[in-house]
Amino acid sequence: MIMAVSSSFLKFISLTVVLSCTVKAEVKMFPRRTAYEDGTIMLGGLFDLHHTEGVINNSCSNLLASNLGSLQAMIFAIEKINDNRTFLSNVTLGYELLDYCLQPAIAVEASYELVVKSDHRFSLQNCTSENAFSGHFKEISGVIGPMDSASAIMVSSLLKIAHIPSISSLATSVELSSTLYKHFYRTVSPDSWRASLLADMAQFFNWTYVAAIALDDSFGRYGIWGIEKEANSREKLCIALKKFVPRVDPYDKFKEIVLELKKMENVKVVFFWLYGQFAQSFMEEAVRQGVRGKTWIFTDGTAPTDPFFGHDRFAGLLNGSFGVFHRAARCKEYQKYLVNLAKRNFSGSTHLWWQEYWHNQKNKNTLSGSLEEYFSDENPFISSPYVSYTIDGVYAFAHALHNMYNCKEPHGLLEGGKCPRLQDLKVIGDCLDLYLRNVSFQGLTGTVQFDERGDPLEASYDIVNFKSQFGKGLQGVLIGWWARRSSSKLHLNLPMITWNNQDGFDGIPSSICSKDCKPGERKVTRSSCCWECVDCPIGTISSDGISSNCSQCSEREKPNNERTQCMDLPLNNLKWSDISALIVTCTAALGRKIPENFNEARYIGFAMYIVLLCSAAYYPVVFGLEGCPEQNTREAISTEITKYSLSSVAAIGGAAARVAPVPSSQSSL
């Protein structure tokens, strides 16, 4: 056991030292700001509170209001739990919150700061050990964050070695569902369910030929792979263009992708997995090249609070676009909390960040009227769906801790029904991880419960349509929702949708490679969504134009001129107006006047009269049956009469040959 502990600890120390040195060497540092409050149980927090200055420059830029709202929501939840004397009693939660500016390298450095302050070698021992604890520093028991997938992957590897569980309210990459990230949890559903939503939307609007653009990181790669998996399982969905944007020096790639997308006139729908400054730069390039007529569908990485949504110059490009975000749940208590905090001039551990926010003149100008009006449902501090998911994350830790402190043997979750030993109100990471995996409670976003991969059991999304409003940029309007456990998953309010071509509800874009073939044509397939239409071969038909094969008509049928259906073959019967009928009639009439010049052939003449009589009887029968619906009966009678008539003619010919007088040799003399 001691050797195992030492080995894991050495790995932990080695990794953190290497990562810390790498961060300091490569990342341009910015002033470290933290929010700290002491407590008996400490929770860490990793939030990206600032935009990145540029996709190449690692410095931090403007404050993100929605993410500051999530950070403040964590403090709100902790204070509310501490005020509740019946829940997690005799325990006070504390916090240490750090900003990592949406940069994975800084996120690793920040997480290193959280774990290196306490010695975690002893937390690797057995949970029931009497000597499990020694040391003089308060340990970080759990972490809320990080808020993006790329940072979560790097930080989770570090926290796993330190045996510290983390809960993210925004990291959605499917990669994080791997068992490699055993101590990682999230209150938001993974992108595999969003891929199902996007495919359902494409199927509903008959979008079969779409483009997908993503950042070349875990969030982007697994996002596109998810929609590709859905496309492979559905016959009518093809990814016409799939492009990944590199994190380093992406500007040339932006130009290349936008130019290629502009040339693809059939592609009218674009799935988008870019965020932050990458999304901003891409949209600027699209405006510069004059891209029009595209319907953009944004995912979590791009939020309505991003700067380019507030500029009118992007309205022509993004009007009628969609956003697919995790379902928001408003918390009225949190709104009142922000109003009271504002009345106290935002005093407290987060004061410097609020001061930075109000230092922006644009934010000052929006503060008109009462504080209650300012912190309304439309305010980014409130409207961000990840506020509610952050609060649920804090409560997940609290419920796990509550169950640990109130555990009674033999009902514990450890082997044999044992309860974890708690000394000096401290917890061990592996024990907290075990209890966290078994929490179940009703939160703001629904039932909070995790599966064996740390993912929530529920998945629900809001579908937002962005509409251009002059002077206000783009405004998001809720037009539908999608729920994993709903019998009918996709729900849309179609009359409320504004389309990119500004034709209203009648202007649903047609994002297809090839139109359906007409009846009488067949498909020559180039891909599952692209084909050419060619005429059916002679003798075949196609009734709907959908199939790639044409059907052969039966022997008694032939195609119509359009080759859309088989028609019965017509019967070529004699009519009184036919020339052949007139010739036969005249011949029969003349034949009756031929005199018999030899008595020996009298019976031959009689037979000839019988044949003519049969022939004469044949035509009235045929003409009488013309147009009769019983076609098979007519054919049978005609065939029989013809057979007997021809037989009679043959008999007469043979008899005439036998009785004809042969000239004698004498008569020739």
- pLDDT band of 5, cuts 50, 70, 90: very low
pLDDT digits 0-9 by tens, 607-635:
666 766 766 666 566 555 555 545 545 55
Q: How far apart are CA 235 and CA 315, in angstroms?
A: 34
Average pLDDT (588-598) is 54
Greater confidence (619 vs 304) lies with 304
pLDDT at 304: 72
pLDDT digits 0-9 by tens, 453-471:
999 999 999 999 998 877 7
Mean pLDDT of the chain: 80
191-330+459-496 and 516-589: identical CATH topology:
no
Average pLDDT (317-326) is 91
What pTM did the predictor assign?
A: 0.75
In the 8-state DSSP scheme, what is residue 586?
A: H
411 has pLDDT over 50: yes
Q: How far apart are CA 430 and CA 408, in angstroms?
A: 18
Strands 238-245 and 557-559, bridge-based pairing: unpaired
Q: How far apart are CA 459 and CA 455, in angstroms?
A: 10
For 642, the 3-state DSSP assignment is helix
Closest Cα to residue 203, out of 222, 227, 219, 226? 227
Q: How far apart are CA 125 and CA 127, in angstroms?
A: 6
Q: How far apart are CA 182 and CA 549, in angstroms?
A: 52
Residue 252, both tokens = 């040339």
pLDDT digits 0-9 by tens, 103-129:
888 999 888 888 876 554 434 444 554
Q: How far apart are CA 529 and CA 37, in angstroms?
A: 58
Closest Cα to residue 242, out of 262, 227, 252, 232? 227
pLDDT at 370: 76
Greater confidence (414 vs 628) lies with 414
402 has pLDDT over 60: yes
Q: Which superfamily does 34-121+137-189+332-449 belong to? A: Response regulator (3.40.50.2300)
Q: How far apart are CA 154 and CA 174, in angstroms?
A: 15
- pLDDT band of 18, cuts 50, 70, 90: very low
| Cβ neighbours of residue 428 closer than 8 Å, sequence gap 6 or more | 123, 125, 127, 132, 163, 420
| Cβ neighbours of residue 379 closer than 8 Å, sequence gap 6 or more | none
pLDDT at 6: 43
pLDDT digits 0-9 by tens, 473-482:
788 899 999 9
Greater confidence (424 vs 411) lies with 411
| Cβ neighbours of residue 173 closer than 8 Å, sequence gap 6 or more | 149, 152, 153, 190, 191, 218, 219, 222, 223
pLDDT digits 0-9 by tens, 243-301:
999 988 899 999 999 999 999 988 999 999 998 889 989 999 999 999 988 999 998 87
Q: Which CATH class is domain 516-589?
A: mainly beta
Q: How far apart are CA 659 and CA 652, in angstroms?
A: 11
In DSSP terms, 243 is beta-bridged to 213
- pLDDT band of 212, cuts 50, 70, 90: very high
pLDDT digits 0-9 by tens, 635-653:
555 555 555 555 555 555 5
Greater confidence (50 vs 31) lies with 50
28 has pLDDT over 80: no
pLDDT at 491: 94
pLDDT digits 0-9 by tens, 139-183:
889 999 999 999 999 999 889 888 899 999 999 999 999 989 989
591 has pLDDT over 70: no
Q: How far apart are CA 608 and CA 592, in angstroms?
A: 9
- pLDDT band of 306, cuts 50, 70, 90: confident
Positive/negative CA dihedral, 233, 234, 236, 237: negative
Positive/negative CA dihedral, 263, 265, 271, 275: positive
Architecture of the 191-330+459-496 domain: 3-Layer(aba) Sandwich (3.40)
Establish how many alpha carbons lie within 13 A of residue 290's alpha carbon, considering only the half-sphere containing its beta carbon. Answer: 1
Domain boundaries defined on the chain? 34-121+137-189+332-449, 191-330+459-496, 516-589
Strands 184-186 and 166-168, bridge-based pairing: parallel
Residue 73, both tokens = 């929501």
Lowest mean per-residue pLDDT among 7-11, 432-436, 484-488, 600-604: 7-11
pLDDT at 286: 94
pLDDT digits 0-9 by tens, 507-540:
788 898 888 888 888 888 777 788 888 888 888 8
Greater confidence (548 vs 445) lies with 445
